[in-house]
A and B are shown apart, each in its own frame.
Chain A
Amino acid sequence: MLHVGLQHFLVVGALLFSLGLLTVATRRNAIGVLMGVELILNGANVNFVAFNHYVTGGVSGQVFALFVIVLAAAEAAVGLAIVLAIFQTFRSIDVRLADTMRE
């Protein structure tokens, strides 16, 4: 019987983080980029909770995770509003097209 320990959680968190990062780095669709950000945040949440459970005890990790979730919701709202504004400006939500702030 495989015992589920801290390492497993950390691997899951790291996977989530890496996939999120990959998504953010490669997606052209702004919505996809936002979703990648969600993955990164949730990877971090997994780490918070796991460390709290296995290492420190108490509830501070969980509270941190909850804050991050709230933050992610707010971030998603602001991010989607920005995406909307980008769409209205560029008639597209391709992040590569929104490059007028270069140089």
Chain B
Amino acid sequence: MEHASHALGPVLVEHASYLWLVPLFPLLGALVNVLFGWRFERSGKKSLVHVVAVGAMALSFLTAAYAFVQMLHLPAERRFLQNTLWNLFSAGRVTVDLAFALDPLSMMMVLIITFIGTLIHLFSVGYMWEDEAKAYWRFFAWLNLFVFSMLLLVMGDNFVLMFFGWEGVGLCSYGLIAFYYTDREKAAAGMKAFVVNRFGDFGFLAGLFLLFWGLGGAWAASCHTGGPSYQATPGMHSLAGASDAAASLALAPRVSLREHAAPAKHGAPAGHAAPAEHAAPAEHAAPAEHAAPAEHAVPAEHGAAAEHGTAPGHATASAKGEHGVGAQVMVGPTLNFRELRDQVVIEETGIAEHLKDQRVWGVALLALVGIFLFVGAMGKSAQLPLYVWLPDAMAGPTPVSALIHAATMVTAGVYMVARLNFIFALSPSAMGWVALIGTLTAVFAASIGFFQYDIKKVLAYSTVSQLGFMFIGVGVGVYWAGAYHLLTHAFFKACLFLGSGSVILGCHHEQDMRKMGGLKKYMPITRWTYLIACWAIAGFPWAAGFYSKDEILWKAFTSEHLALFGTATPWLGPAIYIAGLLAATGTSFYMFRSYFMTFTGEYRGGQGHGHEHGEDPHASVAAPHHADPHGHHDAHPAPDPAPAHGAHGHDAHGQAHGGHGGHGHTPHESPWTITLVLVVLAAGAVLCSLLGLPAAWTGHEPLLEQWLSPALTAEVPFVHKPHALEFVFQALGVGAGAIGFVFAWVLYKDNKSKVPAALKEKFLGVWTVVYNKYYVDELYDLVVIRPSLAWSRALSWFDGHIIDWLVNFAGSVARGFAGIDGWIDKHFVDGAVNAVATLTIEGGRTLRRVQTGRIQTYLYGALAGGLAVILLNFLIP
């Protein structure tokens, strides 16, 4: 198998000075709402809060769209927008800038975040307006801050900014899960999410440190081979682009350059494998050639040169990539993604070779790095075994679940793996690990989804499962498909979550599907959009989920690159395929189960649990629509097309229109802000399919693959199989979805079948285990929480008894010494001081008698003095 046959050049940078505006708008929105939101709310201008928040999001999206258009106009290999604001800090040879970058991958993420973010903000206007927490501004401030952090994570040009965003989204996630913080359980869910994410972050940091530890040796080596002659030569710091290189060729053709140029066209042969020696002659040649065209080259490269002027210690190596003859890449310490990618990808630098050879305690360094980085992804993207926080995160408001816990934040791990594809691709073990965990998670979470009754919990486990699919994608090396599934999932899962939000709102904050049913009659728009999203997630053609999932599974099957713990495992790909197919069947089953339970049959709510809605805030939303005499017509933003609302449980209202009392909990369709968003998202879930029509259908690469290819350069080998087989596999995928659908249809359509109950009775043991999520939370409780509590109690005892005793003992000793010291001070030191004072006073009292005021007394004194002088004159010879 030929590997890495392409010689890759450095990334070519296009400067876009407006990129910083994209994250700025949400930050400003958050600031305004933090500082003034409560005043808006108190002074009756509550709508200003969402005007600010949604406006900020819309502006951010427009800026991102502008960047997208600019990127579209660039040639594929130059699609890298960069915007450096200022230097954050420098440490030795490493400089860290506040800089934003967009390559096709992060561009896709930014568009998802800002577009779906805007929609979800809009949805929240209708959803949160009459919320019980009475903190409209707090909600939107957190939400805007989240978007800012997420954009920082995605757009940050270096690891520092990415990590900042990584932690920021965790913080905002915590704040939004625990949004109803007066409820202990929900507050605890927020803490759980935060703490579990800390575990992941520890892995992420450990991975980064290991990576840079490994790179440190490589950089030191490169300095050694580079030698001092590499440093600070003007022009060497420029990343000469293709046109510049062509210009320099035309103006000053050199044999040495052509030599390096020739192999690039045909793919670098193995003869150039010795990197250090190779870099040196090219490097010495370069300054001489660049001398002539320098005047022409400098203006064009000015930005690049200025940017890199801050990194003085870089040695550079000449790259012979197809992007530009004589293009150069700096070799040296960096935290910048692009520079690191250049150094690792371009073989002449020798960095990749160096990394591959390193071992830590007998384990390949890169495998460790990949595993640790993936632990970070496990936390953020809720993979086994750190997924436990995500189902609990459903305690937050539903828009939060849609935005953070389905569309954006939880995909950060997938994004990170895709972003660092050049690292992961170097280590089959790391990739195998990622794919394996993804597979296990996909199957495991899907099976939990079977028996959940809380509609949001079903979607949460579905999200975990779908994230597993994404990790299969990025794990087996088909990065674009992982990213594609991320995109399609963002649409259909946001649609599903918002649909569930609409249902929850319509059913007066009821989340239990057993108390729903028959809603298609009351909520037609929600029903159709939910159905379309189910269609998409279940993997039926013409909705987006099919294309992304099938591409992932197909590539998993044909993958032969994977390894585990250093041993190649060719069986892993097909095993992943089979497990993935099972998970897809399960996905289809539980999604259609949730659809049938919610929207078909008879409505089961509103009977026998009216007391639960005694505090239902929605009753007060409903009231104004009945022309009641209580008159709060004014503050209702979203026209609510609800036909009839109950005021059941509200005595005052109930009497005002007793006619409605009979069907007091009739569900109702949601306001237009909600349904509009649902429709847009459902349309997106279908239209996204156009981006990923497989090559087997159209004969050319999917649009998204073309788009992402400049960013996802890692080459992972796949076995070539005939297209016919691909069709068979697609049919299998559809069949899997259909099986799930049929089961759901038979068992849950109209909720008439008695089979589910019978099956439940028969397999009660299994049902109980799965229904209780395999007791994983209990396992955590037993293995992690109780020991750590016991440990903390032990430490507390140690602290309270041993440490405190020591401290108290030390205190007593000190007090004793202090007593002695005080006595000495009082009697000796103070005595001496007082004695001096007394002496002075007494002396003065005595001496002042001399001052009689009588002139003759003084005269006697003068006489006595004079006589004494005379006497002394005689006495002293």
Task: Name A residues whose Cβ lies closer than 8 Å to a Cβ of B.
Answer: 21, 24-26, 33, 95-96, 98-103
Task: Count contacts between A and B, CB distance < 8 Å.
Answer: 29
Contact sample, A vs B, 11 pairs, CB 8 Å cutoff: A21-B863, A25-B859, A25-B863, A26-B856, A95-B855, A95-B856, A96-B854, A99-B852, A99-B854, A100-B853, A102-B852
**In the bound complex, how far is the Cα of B855 from the Cα of A102, in angstroms?**
10
How near does chain B come to A25, taking the closest CB pair, in angstroms?
Answer: 6
Task: Name B residues whose Cβ lies closer than 8 Å to a Cβ of A.
Answer: 848, 851-856, 859-860, 863
**In the bound complex, how far is the Cα of B509 from the Cα of A49, in angstroms?**
130
- Chain B's interface: helix, strand, loop or mixed, by majority? helix
Interface contacts beyond A25-B860, A100-B853, A102-B853: sample of 6 additional A-B pairs, CB < 8 Å, sorted by A? A24-B856, A33-B855, A95-B855, A95-B856, A96-B854, A99-B853
- Residues of chain B contacted by A98 (CB below 8 angstroms): 853-855
- Residues of chain A contacted by B855 (CB below 8 angstroms): 33, 95, 98
- Residues of chain A contacted by B859 (CB below 8 angstroms): 24-25
Q: Which of A96, A102, A103 contacts B856 (CB 8 A)?
A: A96
How near does chain B come to A60, taking the closest CB pair, in angstroms?
Answer: 26
**In the bound complex, how far is the Cα of B648 from the Cα of A5, in angstroms?**
145
**In the bound complex, how far is the Cα of B846 from the Cα of A103, in angstroms?**
11
- The chain A residue with its CB closest to the CB of B855 is A95
How near does chain A come to B858, taking the closest CB pair, in angstroms?
Answer: 11
Q: Are B854 and A102 in contact (CB under 8 A)?
A: yes
Q: Are A95 and B851 in contact (CB under 8 A)?
A: no
- Chain A's interface: helix, strand, loop or mixed, by majority? loop
Q: Are A102 and B851 in contact (CB under 8 A)?
A: yes
- Residues of chain B contacted by A33 (CB below 8 angstroms): 855
Q: Are A103 and B860 in contact (CB under 8 A)?
A: no
- The chain A residue with its CB closest to the CB of B849 is A103
- The chain B residue with its CB closest to the CB of A99 is B853
How near does chain B come to A77, taking the closest CB pair, in angstroms?
Answer: 19
**In the bound complex, how far is the Cα of B850 from the Cα of A103, in angstroms?**
8
**In the bound complex, how far is the Cα of B860 from the Cα of A99, in angstroms?**
15
Q: Are A103 and B853 in contact (CB under 8 A)?
A: yes
**In the bound complex, how far is the Cα of B860 from the Cα of A95, in angstroms?**
14
- Residues of chain A contacted by B860 (CB below 8 angstroms): 25
Instruction: Pick the 8 closest A-B CB pairs, nearest first.
Output: A102-B853, A99-B853, A101-B853, A99-B854, A103-B851, A102-B852, A103-B848, A102-B851
- Residues of chain B contacted by A25 (CB below 8 angstroms): 856, 859-860, 863
**In the bound complex, how far is the Cα of B859 from the Cα of A26, in angstroms?**
10
**In the bound complex, how far is the Cα of B863 from the Cα of A24, in angstroms?**
11
How near does chain B come to A14, taking the closest CB pair, in angstroms?
Answer: 13
How near does chain A come to B600, taking the closest CB pair, in angstroms?
Answer: 115
- The chain B residue with its CB closest to the CB of A95 is B855
**In the bound complex, how far is the Cα of B852 from the Cα of A99, in angstroms?**
7
How near does chain B come to A100, taking the closest CB pair, in angstroms?
Answer: 6
**In the bound complex, how far is the Cα of B859 from the Cα of A21, in angstroms?**
9
How near does chain A come to B539, taking the closest CB pair, in angstroms?
Answer: 113
**In the bound complex, how far is the Cα of B355 from the Cα of A22, in angstroms?**
115
**In the bound complex, how far is the Cα of B860 from the Cα of A21, in angstroms?**
10
How near does chain B come to A7, taking the closest CB pair, in angstroms?
Answer: 19
**In the bound complex, how far is the Cα of B849 from the Cα of A103, in angstroms?**
7
**In the bound complex, how far is the Cα of B853 from the Cα of A98, in angstroms?**
7
- The chain A residue with its CB closest to the CB of B853 is A102
**In the bound complex, how far is the Cα of B848 from the Cα of A24, in angstroms?**
24
**In the bound complex, how far is the Cα of B848 from the Cα of A96, in angstroms?**
18
How near does chain B come to A4, taking the closest CB pair, in angstroms?
Answer: 27
- The chain A residue with its CB closest to the CB of B851 is A103
- The chain A residue with its CB closest to the CB of B859 is A25
- Residues of chain B contacted by A101 (CB below 8 angstroms): 853
- Residues of chain A contacted by B851 (CB below 8 angstroms): 102-103
**In the bound complex, how far is the Cα of B848 from the Cα of A55, in angstroms?**
47
- Residues of chain A contacted by B854 (CB below 8 angstroms): 95-96, 98-99, 102
**In the bound complex, how far is the Cα of B856 from the Cα of A101, in angstroms?**
13
- Residues of chain B contacted by A95 (CB below 8 angstroms): 854-856
- Residues of chain B contacted by A102 (CB below 8 angstroms): 851-854
**In the bound complex, how far is the Cα of B854 from the Cα of A25, in angstroms?**
11
**In the bound complex, how far is the Cα of B855 from the Cα of A98, in angstroms?**
9
How near does chain B come to A69, taking the closest CB pair, in angstroms?
Answer: 23
- Residues of chain B contacted by A24 (CB below 8 angstroms): 856, 859
How near does chain A come to B846, taking the closest CB pair, in angstroms?
Answer: 12
- Residues of chain B contacted by A103 (CB below 8 angstroms): 848, 851, 853
How near does chain B come to A20, taking the closest CB pair, in angstroms?
Answer: 12
**In the bound complex, how far is the Cα of B848 from the Cα of A95, in angstroms?**
20
**In the bound complex, how far is the Cα of B857 from the Cα of A98, in angstroms?**
12
- Residues of chain B contacted by A26 (CB below 8 angstroms): 856
How near does chain A come to B451, taking the closest CB pair, in angstroms?
Answer: 107
**In the bound complex, how far is the Cα of B857 from the Cα of A95, in angstroms?**
11
- Residues of chain B contacted by A100 (CB below 8 angstroms): 853
